[in-house]
Amino acid sequence: MKSGIEQSKKSVYTEKAEAWMKPYMPGIVDHPVYSTWAMIRGMENTARLLLQPYLEEGEDGVGCEVSVKHLAPAALGETIRIEATLKEFKHPIVVCHLEAFCENTKIGEGIHKQFVLSKQRYQKFLGKS
């Protein structure tokens, strides 16, 4: 990894809650809100944005743990802002604290861990060496 990654580094990602992001289980659930899985997807994207500038050529990061609380709903059409703050870095693990907001209301929080490894090693895990 490149130098410079340090505690309190931050990245921010925004997205509009669109219809494809709602929870949907045919015949069981069809709510017009931003789903938990969509929030987690956005959180993973935000954590990756924080890590990306520090990866060397030939390195990659893969998610290895996520723990999230969905605190409040957000309607479809709302803008969601997600913030990732570096909480800890002990090579090869990068830990981000995450918060999601709809306007000024916190709708989610949690942590995301990424494991940094060579792309070659990653390909071996996939059986594509």
pTM of the full structure: 0.90
Q: Return the beta strands (E) in the chain as ranges.
A: 10-16, 24-25, 29-30, 59-70, 79-90, 93-102, 105-118
- All structural domains of the chain with their residue ranges: 10-125
CB 1 within 8 A of CB 11: no
Q: What fold does the segment set 10-125 form as a domain?
A: Thiol Ester Dehydrase; Chain A (3.10.129)
CB 110 within 8 A of CB 98: yes
HSE of 37, CA atoms in CB hemisphere, 13 A: 6
Q: What is the pLDDT of residues 56-89, one digit of tens each?
A: 999 999 999 999 999 999 999 999 999 999 999 9
Q: What is the pLDDT of residue 122?
A: 67
Q: What is the pLDDT of residues 5-30, one digit of tens each?
A: 888 899 999 999 999 999 988 888 88
Give the span between the Cα atoms of 23 and 36, in whole angstroms: 8
Q: What is the pLDDT of residue 124?
A: 75
φ/ψ of 22, rounded to 5, equals -80, 160
